[in-house]
């Protein structure tokens, strides 16, 4: 049977680094995991065992180390862009470099009310993310082009009331009772793209996170779907540089435990926390695009 290589990509995953900025007495600590993936003219490595154009993934790892020493890696977007540009600018056969960075946050310890200069706690599940794809220029002398998607994942949020779910579609399999008072728990993943380079990558990241959290708590939620849309829309309203935002909000159910066999009531106080199975609610919200707007208009 004749066959051909259809797609390929290769790279180094989970290159982990921790960097201490010790220029001042108060240390800064940054911990990242970087994935590098290259695309380009690598077919011969698969089809002919020819490694002459294969940059070792070990070299990619070393490049991450060297760049992390010389640059400020905690500005994720600039670090990803510089790293990706290095590969497409230095190797003609590399057409795209995808750089994915995940930052694990560490919070400075506060001891007796005083921020500690060099001790941190790392218990949060939250991660900051950045995914940059840098494309080689088509003409000599031009700069590489690229797309950057920023985000966060693992931001766990819960509210004990101000959430309900009612007036939903029912059929012969529906057993879910309607409620106007339930627990709303989720682990948020957000990804967004900018229409312009923001003045302050870290500042806008912090503001977007604060808006998402504020809107989650702000008012009664008639469904995960409606709250997700409000959270995303609030980011677009407040931050003109954000073009589109995608939110994934699993509905991590807290089921009311039936205590009636024990002659006990349960007025929304005792719940069974569970994450399997969970509702899976996700949507992208963008600035109005007239042509596409009709795609969703079934009326």
Ligand X SMILES: O=c1[nH]c(=O)c2[nH]c(=O)[nH]c2[nH]1
The residues that touch ligand X, with contacts defined as CB under 6 A, are 165, 176, 223-225, 251, 279
Closer Cβ to ligand X, 144 or 164, answer by number: 164
Closer Cβ to ligand X, 104 or 225, answer by number: 225
CB of 164 to ligand X, least distance (A): 9
CA distance 174 to 102: 40
Closer Cβ to ligand X, 107 or 166, answer by number: 166
165 is in an annotated binding site: yes
Q: Can you tell me which residue has the tokens 């995914």?
A: 131
Give the other-Cβ count within 10 Å of 219's Cβ. Answer: 10
CB of 126 to ligand X, least distance (A): 23
Q: Return the half-sphere exposure (C-beta side, CA atoms, 13 A cut-off) of residue 213.
A: 13
E strands present in 212-275: 242-251, 254-256, 271-273
CA dihedral 157, 161, 162, 166 (to 10 degrees): 100
Closer Cβ to ligand X, 30 or 223, answer by number: 223
182 is in an annotated binding site: yes
57 is in an annotated binding site: yes
Task: Give, as one character, the DSSP assignment of residue 4.
Answer: -
Closer Cβ to ligand X, 65 or 220, answer by number: 220
CB of 215 to ligand X, least distance (A): 15
186 is in an annotated binding site: no
What burial letters (b/e) apply to 10-38, b meaning 16+ CB within 10 Å?
bbbeebebebeeeeeeeebbbbbbbbbbb
Closer Cβ to ligand X, 118 or 255, answer by number: 255
CA distance 15 to 83: 13
Kind of pairing between the strands at 254-256 and 271-273: antiparallel
Q: How far is Cα of residue 6 from the mean position of the Cα atoms in its chain?
A: 29
Is 57 among the catalytic positions? Answer: yes
With CA atoms as reference, report the closest residue to 101 among 17, 21, 38, 28: 17
CB of 226 to ligand X, least distance (A): 8
Is 61 among the catalytic positions? Answer: no
58 is in an annotated binding site: yes
225 is in an annotated binding site: yes
Is 12 among the catalytic positions? Answer: yes
Of the candidates 86, 96, 100, 253, the residue annotated as catalytic is 253
CB of 222 to ligand X, least distance (A): 8
Give the other-Cβ count within 10 Å of 61's Cβ. Answer: 19
CB of 229 to ligand X, least distance (A): 12
Of the candidates 57, 82, 135, 160, the residue annotated as catalytic is 57
The DSSP annotation for 109-159 comes to EEETTEEEEEEEE-----EEEEEEEEE--SSTTPPPEEEEEEEEEEEEEEE
Binding site per annotation, positions for 5-hydroxyisourate: 57, 165, 182, 224-225, 251
Question: Which residues are annotated binding-site positions for urate?
Answer: 57-58, 165, 182, 224-225, 251
Per the annotation, where are the binding residues for O2?
57, 251
Instruction: Write out the catalytic residue numbers.
Output: 12, 57, 253
């Amino acid at each position: 049977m004749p066959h051909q290589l259809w797609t390929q990509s290769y790279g180094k995953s989970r290159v982990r680094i921790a960097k201490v900025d010790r220029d001042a007495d108060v240390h800064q600590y940054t911990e990242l995991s970087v994935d590098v993936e290259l695309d380009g003219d690598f077919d011969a490595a698969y089809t002919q065992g020819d490694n002459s154009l294969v940059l070792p993934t070990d070299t990619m790892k070393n490049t991450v180390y060297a760049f992390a020493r010389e640059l400020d890696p905690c500005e994720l977007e600039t670090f990803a862009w510089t790293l990706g540009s290095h590969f497409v600018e230095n190797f003609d056969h590399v057409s795209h470099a995808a750089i994915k960075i995940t930052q694990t946050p560490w919070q400075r310890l506060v001891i007796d009310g005083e921020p500690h200069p060099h001790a941190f706690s790392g218990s949060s599940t939250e991660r900051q993310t950045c995914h940059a794809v840098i494309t080689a220029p088509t003409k000599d002398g031009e700069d590489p082009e690229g797309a950057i998607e920023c985000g966060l994942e693992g931001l766990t949020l819960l509210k004990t009331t101000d959430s309900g779910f009612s007036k939903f579609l029912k059929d012969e399999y529906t057993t879910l009772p309607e409620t106007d008072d339930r627990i709303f728990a989720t682990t948020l993943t957000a990804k967004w793209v900018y229409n312009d380079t923001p003045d302050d990558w870290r500042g806008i990241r912090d503001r977007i996170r604060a808006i998402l959290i504020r809107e989650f708590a702000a008012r009664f939620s008639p469904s995960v779907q409606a709250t997700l849309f409000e959270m995303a829309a609030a980011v677009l309203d407040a931050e003109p540089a954000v073009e589109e935002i995608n939110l994934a909000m699993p509905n991590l159910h807290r089921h009311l435990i039936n205590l009636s066999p024990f002659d006990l009531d349960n007025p929304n106080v005792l719940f069974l926390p569970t994450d399997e199975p969970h509702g899976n609610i996700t949507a992208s919200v963008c600035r109005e695009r007239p042509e596409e707007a009709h795609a969703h208009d079934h009326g």
